[in-house]
Structure 1
């Protein structure tokens, strides 16, 4: 049984990813900033007959919280097989970079980028104890520089420019960390669920959470260790 930690797993894409991976036989830790919400999510899954889950308190913007979560995991497991950096915020819209409040930009980076980086740094000690560890960073198409320059770019993307820039940074982290950890056999990839209906976008997304998590679950189940430093969506690889 593989062990999985998903940050921001008490709702939305994180919770549905936890549900599906647990149903496939993995033991999933549902990371939640608020442990009450995390426990409610875990209880919800257990009530549905999914017993191999547990809630864990982790605020990715708080290094002490991350360290406490790691210590809790140390007391329960020998290694961590998969870390999914899912916790994120969208910020208020519109957020064009020419006018966006700097506090909003800093807040977005604090959670979406720095949160993922420091969570990964702390959890690497447990990941290194796994025979086949993996890190998945939940990104977005609006973080793709190539897609932003494409004629097919959706007109409203500029309203998410600050959020998108945090995902661009997260994608850079994916590539550079993948190169750094390649010799340690730890694979690192980015994946986008697409425009999925969650409270991140006031449920305006056109994909259900069940549809949105498909590429995440597929990547989580990937056994080809040569696939690292890539960016995926439902249907395959996409450009940076």
Structure 2
């Protein structure tokens, strides 16, 4: 009981210098966690961490490019040396690739004419980067009394929703890059959950909703904090919480 009472809760959020990642970091700091701001740009990462500290939170910047396994290992080494463990990993870093901002460019992701290099680039961050970071952090998560992994996905990842010709995504142009990368992330979430269930590590995917961010040219109707709320809820799950699920603010999202 004494160890749990004094346990310093540590959360790492990738891509946390802006948008949903930064909002999630702010909300986790508000829950009393020490938040590690993972960012490719050290300057922007430090600016975000400084802003959280100025607001009364405990935050540190961590240099982390999810497409570079070496930086993931170095980040894990630094976290291990500084804190000895990790309680929450939020795999938020992601890219849309071209065609997610303006309708004119959306044709770049249409499967029949897509550039394979662009698809590879999107998967490198949105799927392979999650594997690299998660595997680097697993030894630290295993040292936590209540380890949680949250993968930031998208409603567009739902095969049920996107395959429905009368569904909410009927007007969305087909995508061979961003949308399938998030579907792959969901599948990956289930596999990690199956592997880690016996260890008490809960792994879930979340769909934040249509959030006002750089990735959609700020056309979203939700604030980053509203989108991050479900991320934080899954990061704070109790021992009896779900694992291997896909959730939005309104509950379970169909696969």
Paired residue for 1:215? 230
The question of 1:234 aligning with 2:249 is answered: yes
State whether residues 146 and 239 of structure 2, in contact with CA within 8 Å, keep that contact through their aligned partners in structure 1: no
Note the C-alpha offset of 1:103: 1.0
Aligned 1:46-57 pairs, distance under 5 A: 46-50=53-57, 52-57=58-63
Q: CA RMSD in A?
A: 1.2
Q: Distance in 2 between matches of 1:47 and 1:157?
A: 41
State whether residues 208 and 230 of structure 2, in contact with CA within 8 Å, keep that contact through their aligned partners in structure 1: yes
Paired residue for 2:5? none
Q: Distance in 1 between matches of 2:228 and 2:253?
A: 16
Residue 161 of structure 2, aligned match among 147, 150, 167? 147
Aligned to 2:172, what secondary structure does the other structure show? helix
**Gaps (5+ residues) in structure 1?**
none
CA-to-partner distance for each residue in 1:47-89, whole Å, 9 max, x for gaps?
Answer: 2232x11110000000111111111111111211110000000
Aligned 1:134-173 pairs, distance under 5 A: 134-150=148-164, 151-158=166-173, 160-173=175-188
Q: Distance in 1 between matches of 2:210 and 2:125?
A: 19
The question of 1:80 aligning with 2:86 is answered: yes
Paired residue for 1:204? 219
Aligned length: 239
**Gaps (5+ residues) in structure 2?**
1-7, 100-105
Aligned to 2:132, what secondary structure does the other structure show? helix
TM-score normalized with structure 1 length: 0.96
Moved over 6 A (4+): none
The question of 1:27 aligning with 2:34 is answered: yes
Note the C-alpha offset of 1:226: 4.5
Note the C-alpha offset of 1:6: 0.4
CA-to-partner distance for each residue in 1:128-177, whole Å, 9 max, x for gaps?
Answer: 11111111000001111111122223234325442010001000000011
CA-to-partner distance for each residue in 1:175-229, whole Å, 9 max, x for gaps?
Answer: 0110111111111000011111101111111211121111111111221434100
Q: Distance in 1 between matches of 2:85 and 2:199?
A: 15
Q: Distance in 2 between matches of 1:157 and 1:103?
A: 22
Paired residue for 1:67? 73
Q: Distance in 1 between matches of 2:61 and 2:171?
A: 36
**Which entry has the higher C-alpha Rg, 1 or 2?**
2
Q: Distance in 1 between matches of 2:168 and 2:45?
A: 36
State whether residues 6 and 28 of structure 1, in contact with CA within 8 Å, keep that contact through their aligned partners in structure 2: yes
TM-score normalized with structure 2 length: 0.90
Q: Distance in 1 between matches of 2:14 and 2:240?
A: 23
